[in-house]
Structure 1
Amino acid sequence: MARFEEAQYERERMLEQQQNVADADGFITVVRRARGGKNTDGTASVTAMSTDEAREAGATRKEPTTYSNLYRFQARERKRDQLVDLRRKFEEDKEKIARMRQTRQFRPY
Structure 2
Amino acid sequence: MKKYLIYRAPKEIDRDLSRHELVGVEYGADIDAVTDAIIRAVTDDLSGNPKYAGCEVFAYAPEPMDESRRTQQYQYRVTGVVSPVSAKENILINYGIIEWEEI
TM-score where L is the length of structure 2:
0.22
Which structure dedicates a bigger proportion of its chain to helix?
Answer: 1
Larger Rg: 1
TM-score where L is the length of structure 1:
0.21
Which structure dedicates a bigger proportion of its chain to strand?
Answer: 2
* Higher relative contact order structure (alpha carbons within 8 Å, sequence separation ≥ 6): 2
